[in-house]
Amino acid sequence: MSAPALLDGPALDAPEGHDAHVARLGPAPRGSAALIDVLERSGLRGRGGAAFPVATKWRAVAQRSRRDAVVLVNGAEGEPLSAKDRLLMETRPHLVLDGAALAAQAVGARQVVVYVGEEHRRALAVMQHALSERDQRERRGTRVLASPARYVAGEESAAVRFVNDGVALPTTTPPRPFERGVGGRPTLVQNVETLAHVALIGRYGDAARETALLTLSGAVRHRGVVEVAGGSSIGEALARAGGAVDGGGALLLGGYFGGWVDLDQVVHMPVDAAWLRTQGMALGCGVVGVLPAQRCGVAETARIIGYLAEQSARQCGPCVFGLRAIAEAVQRIATGAATDGDLARVQRWSQQLAGRGACRHPDGAAGLLQSALRVFAEDFAAHQARRPCVATGERRVAA
Protein backbone atom coordinates (compact mmCIF):
# COMPACT_ATOMS: atom_id res chain seq x y z
CA MET A 1 0.00 0.00 0.00
CA SER A 2 1.32 3.45 -0.90
CA ALA A 3 2.02 6.06 1.74
CA PRO A 4 -0.97 8.25 2.58
CA ALA A 5 -1.36 11.89 1.70
CA LEU A 6 -2.13 14.61 4.25
CA LEU A 7 -5.89 14.54 3.79
CA ASP A 8 -6.30 10.78 3.40
CA GLY A 9 -8.25 9.07 6.14
CA PRO A 10 -11.66 9.85 7.62
CA ALA A 11 -14.03 12.50 6.30
CA LEU A 12 -12.93 16.09 6.73
CA ASP A 13 -15.96 17.14 8.75
CA ALA A 14 -14.49 16.35 12.17
CA PRO A 15 -11.07 16.02 13.80
CA GLU A 16 -9.36 12.65 13.74
CA GLY A 17 -8.82 11.60 17.36
CA HIS A 18 -5.52 10.32 18.69
CA ASP A 19 -6.50 6.64 18.88
CA ALA A 20 -7.87 6.67 15.33
CA HIS A 21 -4.79 8.52 14.10
CA VAL A 22 -2.41 5.95 15.62
CA ALA A 23 -4.56 3.03 14.40
CA ARG A 24 -4.40 4.39 10.85
CA LEU A 25 -0.75 5.45 10.67
CA GLY A 26 0.94 3.76 13.59
CA PRO A 27 2.85 5.59 16.33
CA ALA A 28 5.17 8.37 15.33
CA PRO A 29 8.85 7.42 15.28
CA ARG A 30 11.40 9.18 17.42
CA GLY A 31 13.03 12.16 15.77
CA SER A 32 16.79 12.41 15.50
CA ALA A 33 19.47 14.31 13.65
CA ALA A 34 19.22 11.64 10.94
CA LEU A 35 15.72 12.87 10.12
CA ILE A 36 17.25 16.10 8.84
CA ASP A 37 19.10 14.10 6.17
CA VAL A 38 15.83 12.40 5.22
CA LEU A 39 14.15 15.79 4.88
CA GLU A 40 16.99 17.00 2.69
CA ARG A 41 16.57 14.03 0.36
CA SER A 42 12.83 14.66 0.22
CA GLY A 43 13.37 18.23 -0.97
CA LEU A 44 10.67 19.45 1.41
CA ARG A 45 10.28 23.22 1.46
CA GLY A 46 8.34 25.34 3.91
CA ARG A 47 4.66 25.80 3.10
CA GLY A 48 4.10 29.06 4.94
CA GLY A 49 5.06 31.29 2.02
CA ALA A 50 8.85 31.56 1.76
CA ALA A 51 9.41 27.97 0.50
CA PHE A 52 12.76 27.78 2.30
CA PRO A 53 14.41 24.33 2.37
CA VAL A 54 13.29 22.65 5.60
CA ALA A 55 16.48 20.66 6.19
CA THR A 56 18.60 23.82 5.96
CA LYS A 57 16.42 25.58 8.51
CA TRP A 58 16.50 22.63 10.93
CA ARG A 59 20.29 22.31 10.70
CA ALA A 60 20.72 25.99 11.52
CA VAL A 61 18.77 25.51 14.76
CA ALA A 62 20.32 22.14 15.64
CA GLN A 63 23.85 23.52 15.29
CA ARG A 64 23.07 26.23 17.86
CA SER A 65 21.02 24.15 20.26
CA ARG A 66 22.31 22.86 23.56
CA ARG A 67 19.10 20.92 24.09
CA ASP A 68 17.52 24.30 24.82
CA ALA A 69 15.95 25.14 21.44
CA VAL A 70 12.26 25.96 20.90
CA VAL A 71 9.88 24.83 18.14
CA LEU A 72 7.20 27.37 17.24
CA VAL A 73 4.37 25.80 15.22
CA ASN A 74 3.00 28.60 13.05
CA GLY A 75 -0.75 28.26 12.53
CA ALA A 76 -1.55 31.98 12.55
CA GLU A 77 -2.74 31.84 8.90
CA GLY A 78 -3.46 35.55 8.65
CA GLU A 79 -3.71 35.45 4.83
CA PRO A 80 -7.42 36.16 4.16
CA LEU A 81 -7.64 33.83 1.15
CA SER A 82 -5.92 30.82 2.75
CA ALA A 83 -7.74 28.02 4.60
CA LYS A 84 -5.34 25.08 4.28
CA ASP A 85 -3.65 25.37 7.68
CA ARG A 86 -7.02 25.73 9.39
CA LEU A 87 -8.30 22.62 7.65
CA LEU A 88 -5.27 20.61 8.77
CA MET A 89 -5.56 21.76 12.37
CA GLU A 90 -9.30 21.12 12.44
CA THR A 91 -9.19 17.65 10.89
CA ARG A 92 -5.66 16.20 11.21
CA PRO A 93 -4.34 17.81 14.42
CA HIS A 94 -2.18 14.84 15.38
CA LEU A 95 -0.24 15.00 12.12
CA VAL A 96 0.72 18.55 13.12
CA LEU A 97 1.61 17.54 16.68
CA ASP A 98 3.60 14.52 15.45
CA GLY A 99 5.59 16.77 13.13
CA ALA A 100 6.23 19.23 15.95
CA ALA A 101 7.45 16.43 18.25
CA LEU A 102 9.77 15.07 15.55
CA ALA A 103 11.13 18.57 14.97
CA ALA A 104 11.76 19.09 18.69
CA GLN A 105 13.61 15.78 18.97
CA ALA A 106 15.67 16.44 15.84
CA VAL A 107 16.83 19.97 16.71
CA GLY A 108 17.13 19.56 20.46
CA ALA A 109 14.10 21.46 21.74
CA ARG A 110 12.38 21.00 25.06
CA GLN A 111 9.65 23.52 24.40
CA VAL A 112 6.99 23.54 21.67
CA VAL A 113 4.60 26.45 21.18
CA VAL A 114 1.59 25.86 18.91
CA TYR A 115 0.65 29.35 17.67
CA VAL A 116 -2.91 29.47 16.27
CA GLY A 117 -4.79 32.50 14.97
CA GLU A 118 -7.35 33.58 17.55
CA GLU A 119 -10.02 34.06 14.87
CA HIS A 120 -9.68 30.39 13.93
CA ARG A 121 -11.69 29.36 16.98
CA ARG A 122 -12.44 25.81 15.88
CA ALA A 123 -8.82 25.11 14.97
CA LEU A 124 -7.70 26.53 18.30
CA ALA A 125 -10.14 24.34 20.24
CA VAL A 126 -9.24 21.22 18.24
CA MET A 127 -5.51 21.69 18.76
CA GLN A 128 -6.02 22.21 22.50
CA HIS A 129 -8.12 19.06 22.72
CA ALA A 130 -5.69 17.06 20.59
CA LEU A 131 -2.85 17.99 22.91
CA SER A 132 -4.90 16.83 25.91
CA GLU A 133 -5.39 13.42 24.21
CA ARG A 134 -1.67 12.71 24.17
CA ASP A 135 0.13 11.16 27.12
CA GLN A 136 1.80 13.26 29.78
CA ARG A 137 5.29 12.74 28.37
CA GLU A 138 4.18 14.02 24.97
CA ARG A 139 2.39 17.01 26.50
CA ARG A 140 5.32 18.09 28.62
CA GLY A 141 6.79 21.36 27.39
CA THR A 142 4.07 21.88 24.76
CA ARG A 143 1.41 24.59 24.88
CA VAL A 144 -1.16 26.13 22.54
CA LEU A 145 -1.18 29.91 22.24
CA ALA A 146 -3.71 32.14 20.43
CA SER A 147 -2.17 34.73 18.11
CA PRO A 148 -3.76 38.13 17.33
CA ALA A 149 -5.93 38.44 14.24
CA ARG A 150 -3.51 40.58 12.25
CA TYR A 151 -1.86 39.91 8.91
CA VAL A 152 1.65 40.52 10.23
CA ALA A 153 1.16 38.29 13.31
CA GLY A 154 2.22 35.23 11.32
CA GLU A 155 5.59 36.67 10.29
CA GLU A 156 8.14 34.57 12.16
CA SER A 157 9.81 37.37 14.12
CA ALA A 158 6.36 38.72 15.05
CA ALA A 159 5.36 35.28 16.32
CA VAL A 160 8.52 35.07 18.43
CA ARG A 161 7.98 38.57 19.78
CA PHE A 162 4.42 37.74 20.78
CA VAL A 163 5.53 34.65 22.69
CA ASN A 164 8.22 36.72 24.42
CA ASP A 165 6.49 40.05 25.01
CA GLY A 166 2.85 39.79 23.96
CA VAL A 167 3.38 42.09 20.95
CA ALA A 168 2.77 40.46 17.54
CA LEU A 169 4.84 42.84 15.44
CA PRO A 170 7.92 42.01 13.35
CA THR A 171 11.36 42.89 14.67
CA THR A 172 14.36 44.04 12.73
CA THR A 173 16.78 41.28 11.82
CA PRO A 174 19.38 39.99 12.49
CA PRO A 175 19.26 38.15 14.77
CA ARG A 176 16.90 35.69 13.12
CA PRO A 177 14.74 33.40 15.27
CA PHE A 178 17.07 30.46 14.56
CA GLU A 179 19.84 32.50 16.19
CA ARG A 180 17.91 34.02 19.08
CA GLY A 181 14.17 33.57 19.36
CA VAL A 182 11.79 32.54 22.13
CA GLY A 183 13.43 33.31 25.48
CA GLY A 184 16.63 34.16 23.63
CA ARG A 185 17.02 30.53 22.55
CA PRO A 186 17.47 29.11 19.02
CA THR A 187 13.94 28.80 17.64
CA LEU A 188 12.59 26.80 14.72
CA VAL A 189 9.49 28.51 13.31
CA GLN A 190 7.66 26.11 11.01
CA ASN A 191 4.27 26.24 9.29
CA VAL A 192 1.66 23.62 10.24
CA GLU A 193 1.43 22.09 6.75
CA THR A 194 5.19 21.70 6.70
CA LEU A 195 5.11 19.81 10.00
CA ALA A 196 2.25 17.59 8.82
CA HIS A 197 4.44 16.58 5.88
CA VAL A 198 7.28 15.90 8.34
CA ALA A 199 4.98 13.52 10.25
CA LEU A 200 4.52 11.43 7.10
CA ILE A 201 8.14 11.66 5.96
CA GLY A 202 9.22 10.54 9.44
CA ARG A 203 7.07 7.43 9.06
CA TYR A 204 7.55 6.58 5.39
CA GLY A 205 10.90 8.16 4.50
CA ASP A 206 11.63 8.19 0.80
CA ALA A 207 8.28 6.52 0.11
CA ALA A 208 6.33 9.52 1.42
CA ARG A 209 4.23 11.20 -1.24
CA GLU A 210 5.01 14.70 -2.42
CA THR A 211 1.81 16.73 -2.29
CA ALA A 212 0.72 20.32 -1.73
CA LEU A 213 -2.38 21.89 -0.23
CA LEU A 214 -3.92 24.72 -2.24
CA THR A 215 -6.82 27.01 -1.34
CA LEU A 216 -8.92 27.73 -4.42
CA SER A 217 -11.23 30.72 -4.38
CA GLY A 218 -13.00 33.22 -6.60
CA ALA A 219 -14.52 32.20 -9.93
CA VAL A 220 -14.25 28.42 -9.51
CA ARG A 221 -17.13 26.00 -9.21
CA HIS A 222 -16.09 24.52 -5.87
CA ARG A 223 -14.12 26.76 -3.54
CA GLY A 224 -11.99 25.23 -0.84
CA VAL A 225 -8.80 23.29 -0.15
CA VAL A 226 -7.49 20.61 -2.48
CA GLU A 227 -4.43 18.38 -2.16
CA VAL A 228 -2.51 17.85 -5.38
CA ALA A 229 0.32 15.49 -6.17
CA GLY A 230 3.81 16.74 -6.87
CA GLY A 231 4.23 17.52 -10.56
CA SER A 232 0.61 18.59 -10.96
CA SER A 233 -0.11 21.73 -12.94
CA ILE A 234 -2.07 24.71 -11.73
CA GLY A 235 -4.64 23.87 -14.40
CA GLU A 236 -5.06 20.39 -12.91
CA ALA A 237 -5.58 21.97 -9.50
CA LEU A 238 -8.28 24.20 -10.95
CA ALA A 239 -9.91 21.18 -12.54
CA ARG A 240 -10.13 19.61 -9.06
CA ALA A 241 -12.31 22.59 -8.14
CA GLY A 242 -14.51 22.14 -11.19
CA GLY A 243 -12.67 24.68 -13.31
CA ALA A 244 -13.18 28.41 -13.70
CA VAL A 245 -16.83 29.46 -13.74
CA ASP A 246 -16.69 32.02 -16.54
CA GLY A 247 -13.32 31.35 -18.12
CA GLY A 248 -11.72 33.67 -15.58
CA GLY A 249 -9.74 36.79 -16.31
CA ALA A 250 -6.62 36.67 -14.18
CA LEU A 251 -5.37 34.62 -11.28
CA LEU A 252 -4.00 35.73 -7.93
CA LEU A 253 -1.27 33.22 -7.16
CA GLY A 254 0.20 32.98 -3.67
CA GLY A 255 -2.23 35.28 -1.88
CA TYR A 256 -1.78 38.92 -0.94
CA PHE A 257 2.01 38.52 -0.87
CA GLY A 258 1.90 36.72 -4.21
CA GLY A 259 1.01 38.27 -7.53
CA TRP A 260 -1.42 38.53 -10.41
CA VAL A 261 -0.83 36.37 -13.49
CA ASP A 262 -2.74 35.82 -16.72
CA LEU A 263 -4.84 32.70 -16.30
CA ASP A 264 -3.94 31.34 -19.74
CA GLN A 265 -0.25 31.81 -19.00
CA VAL A 266 -0.21 29.88 -15.74
CA VAL A 267 -2.52 26.88 -16.23
CA HIS A 268 0.24 24.64 -17.59
CA MET A 269 2.81 25.66 -14.98
CA PRO A 270 3.68 23.24 -12.17
CA VAL A 271 2.66 23.62 -8.53
CA ASP A 272 6.33 24.00 -7.66
CA ALA A 273 7.43 26.98 -5.56
CA ALA A 274 11.08 26.80 -6.58
CA TRP A 275 10.31 26.58 -10.32
CA LEU A 276 7.70 29.35 -10.19
CA ARG A 277 10.25 31.60 -8.49
CA THR A 278 12.55 31.22 -11.52
CA GLN A 279 9.67 32.65 -13.57
CA GLY A 280 9.23 35.64 -11.27
CA MET A 281 6.15 34.17 -9.60
CA ALA A 282 5.41 32.99 -6.08
CA LEU A 283 3.30 30.06 -4.89
CA GLY A 284 3.35 31.64 -1.44
CA CYS A 285 0.94 30.01 0.98
CA GLY A 286 -0.77 28.04 -1.80
CA VAL A 287 -3.59 30.45 -2.68
CA VAL A 288 -5.06 30.18 -6.18
CA GLY A 289 -7.73 32.85 -6.60
CA VAL A 290 -9.47 33.25 -9.96
CA LEU A 291 -10.68 36.77 -10.74
CA PRO A 292 -14.05 36.67 -12.56
CA ALA A 293 -13.76 37.85 -16.16
CA GLN A 294 -16.07 40.79 -15.50
CA ARG A 295 -14.41 41.86 -12.22
CA CYS A 296 -12.16 44.92 -12.34
CA GLY A 297 -8.56 44.02 -11.54
CA VAL A 298 -7.74 47.63 -10.65
CA ALA A 299 -10.53 47.79 -8.08
CA GLU A 300 -9.55 44.42 -6.61
CA THR A 301 -5.92 45.49 -6.38
CA ALA A 302 -6.93 48.73 -4.69
CA ARG A 303 -8.90 46.75 -2.11
CA ILE A 304 -5.94 44.45 -1.34
CA ILE A 305 -3.37 47.26 -1.17
CA GLY A 306 -5.69 49.18 1.12
CA TYR A 307 -5.99 46.15 3.37
CA LEU A 308 -2.20 45.66 3.47
CA ALA A 309 -1.69 49.33 4.32
CA GLU A 310 -4.18 49.03 7.19
CA GLN A 311 -2.61 45.78 8.40
CA SER A 312 0.99 47.01 8.38
CA ALA A 313 3.13 47.00 11.52
CA ARG A 314 3.29 50.83 11.41
CA GLN A 315 6.85 50.71 12.69
CA CYS A 316 8.69 52.52 9.90
CA GLY A 317 8.23 55.15 7.22
CA PRO A 318 7.79 52.83 4.21
CA CYS A 319 4.61 51.40 5.79
CA VAL A 320 3.31 54.43 7.65
CA PHE A 321 3.77 56.86 4.77
CA GLY A 322 4.83 55.01 1.61
CA LEU A 323 2.34 52.18 1.61
CA ARG A 324 -0.48 54.43 2.76
CA ALA A 325 0.25 56.94 -0.04
CA ILE A 326 0.30 54.14 -2.60
CA ALA A 327 -2.98 52.74 -1.31
CA GLU A 328 -4.65 56.13 -1.54
CA ALA A 329 -3.39 56.71 -5.09
CA VAL A 330 -4.50 53.27 -6.31
CA GLN A 331 -7.90 53.87 -4.71
CA ARG A 332 -8.23 57.16 -6.58
CA ILE A 333 -7.36 55.44 -9.85
CA ALA A 334 -9.86 52.64 -9.19
CA THR A 335 -12.73 54.98 -8.35
CA GLY A 336 -12.32 57.45 -11.21
CA ALA A 337 -10.82 60.15 -9.02
CA ALA A 338 -7.25 59.93 -10.34
CA THR A 339 -5.25 63.14 -10.35
CA ASP A 340 -2.70 63.90 -13.06
CA GLY A 341 0.33 61.68 -12.63
CA ASP A 342 -1.23 59.23 -10.15
CA LEU A 343 -0.45 56.19 -12.30
CA ALA A 344 3.14 57.30 -12.94
CA ARG A 345 3.62 57.92 -9.23
CA VAL A 346 2.24 54.51 -8.30
CA GLN A 347 4.58 52.85 -10.80
CA ARG A 348 7.57 54.73 -9.43
CA TRP A 349 6.66 54.29 -5.75
CA SER A 350 6.09 50.56 -6.11
CA GLN A 351 9.71 50.20 -7.28
CA GLN A 352 11.07 52.44 -4.54
CA LEU A 353 9.16 50.77 -1.70
CA ALA A 354 10.71 47.30 -1.97
CA GLY A 355 13.60 46.58 0.37
CA ARG A 356 13.18 49.71 2.47
CA GLY A 357 11.02 48.50 5.32
CA ALA A 358 12.01 47.21 8.74
CA CYS A 359 10.27 43.94 7.76
CA ARG A 360 9.11 42.31 4.54
CA HIS A 361 5.57 43.71 4.61
CA PRO A 362 6.25 46.60 2.19
CA ASP A 363 8.06 44.19 -0.15
CA GLY A 364 5.01 41.92 -0.35
CA ALA A 365 2.69 44.83 -1.08
CA ALA A 366 5.07 46.22 -3.71
CA GLY A 367 5.35 42.85 -5.45
CA LEU A 368 1.58 42.44 -5.59
CA LEU A 369 1.17 45.94 -7.02
CA GLN A 370 3.90 45.52 -9.63
CA SER A 371 2.23 42.34 -10.87
CA ALA A 372 -1.10 44.19 -11.12
CA LEU A 373 0.49 47.00 -13.12
CA ARG A 374 1.72 44.41 -15.63
CA VAL A 375 -1.36 42.19 -15.88
CA PHE A 376 -3.93 45.01 -15.76
CA ALA A 377 -1.88 47.60 -17.66
CA GLU A 378 -4.74 48.49 -20.03
CA ASP A 379 -7.20 48.72 -17.17
CA PHE A 380 -4.94 51.04 -15.16
CA ALA A 381 -4.44 53.27 -18.19
CA ALA A 382 -8.19 53.41 -18.83
CA HIS A 383 -8.95 54.27 -15.23
CA GLN A 384 -6.26 56.95 -15.13
CA ALA A 385 -7.75 58.53 -18.26
CA ARG A 386 -11.30 58.03 -16.92
CA ARG A 387 -12.22 55.90 -19.90
CA PRO A 388 -14.57 52.90 -19.49
CA CYS A 389 -13.00 50.04 -17.55
CA VAL A 390 -11.61 47.37 -19.88
CA ALA A 391 -12.96 44.51 -17.74
CA THR A 392 -16.42 45.83 -16.84
CA GLY A 393 -17.11 48.39 -19.56
CA GLU A 394 -18.17 50.83 -16.86
CA ARG A 395 -17.01 54.42 -16.69
CA ARG A 396 -15.84 55.16 -13.13
CA VAL A 397 -16.39 58.81 -12.34
CA ALA A 398 -15.82 60.21 -8.89
CA ALA A 399 -18.80 61.84 -7.23
Split at pLDDT 50, 70, 90, the class of 254 is very high
Rounded Cα distance, 246 and 220, in Å: 8
Q: Is the pLDDT of residue 396 over 70?
A: no
Rounded Cα distance, 283 and 87, in Å: 19
Split at pLDDT 50, 70, 90, the class of 247 is low
| Percent of the chain predicted with pLDDT > 70 | 97
Give pLDDT tens digits for 145-178: 999 999 999 999 999 999 999 999 998 878 999 9
Q: Which residues of 8-20 are buried (b: 16+ CB within 10 A; e: fewer)?
A: ebeeeeebbebee
pLDDT at 1 (0 to 100) = 56
Rounded Cα distance, 284 and 261, in Å: 14
Pairing of strands 250-253, 287-291: antiparallel
Give pLDDT tens digits for 177-194: 999 999 999 999 999 999
Split at pLDDT 50, 70, 90, the class of 399 is very low
What Cα–Cα distance (Å) separates residue 244 from each residue in 82, 291, 303?
18, 9, 22
Split at pLDDT 50, 70, 90, the class of 110 is very high
Pairing of strands 187-191, 224-229: unpaired
Count the Cβ atoms, other than its own, within 10 Å of residue 317: 12
CATH of domain 297-384: 1.20.1440.230
CATH of domain 211-291: 3.10.20.600
Segments in the chain forming alpha helices (H):
18-25, 33-42, 54-62, 84-91, 93-107, 121-133, 136-139, 156-165, 192-204, 234-240, 263-266, 273-278, 297-310, 317, 324-334, 342-353, 361-375, 377-384
AA identity, residue 18: H
Among 37-46, 81-90, 345-354, 387-396, the range scoring the smallest mean pLDDT is 387-396
Rounded Cα distance, 76 and 17, in Å: 22
Taking CB atoms within 8 Å and a gap of at least 24, the contacts of 355-360 are: 356/317, 356/318, 356/322, 357/316, 357/318, 357/319, 358/170, 358/172, 358/313, 358/315, 358/316, 358/318, 359/152, 359/155, 359/157, 359/158, 359/170, 359/171, 359/172, 359/313, 359/315, 360/155, 360/170
12 alpha carbon, distance to own chain's centre: 21
207: DSSP letter: G
Please give the model's pTM, rounded to 2 decimal places.
Answer: 0.94
* Domain 18-207 classification at class level: alpha beta
Average pLDDT for 209-221: 96
pLDDT at 248 (0 to 100) = 66
187-191, strands of its sheet edge to edge: 142-147, 109-117, 69-75, 187-191
Count the Cβ atoms, other than its own, within 10 Å of residue 307: 15
Backbone angle region of 121, left / alpha / beta, with phi > 0 → left and psi within -120 to 50 → alpha:
alpha
Q: Where are the domains of the chain?
A: 18-207, 211-291, 297-384
Q: Are 327 and 366 in contact (CB under 8 A)?
A: no
For the chain, the average pLDDT equals: 93
What Cα–Cα distance (Å) separates residue 292 from each residue in 20, 136, 302, 363?
41, 51, 16, 26
pLDDT at 317 (0 to 100) = 74
| Percent of the chain predicted with pLDDT > 90 | 81
AA identity, residue 89: M
Give pLDDT tens digits for 315-356: 877 777 789 999 999 999 999 999 999 999 999 998 888 776
Give pLDDT tens digits for 53-99: 999 999 999 999 988 999 999 999 999 999 999 999 999 999 999 99
Rounded Cα distance, 106 and 91, in Å: 25
What Rg, from alpha-carbon coordinates, does the chain have? 22
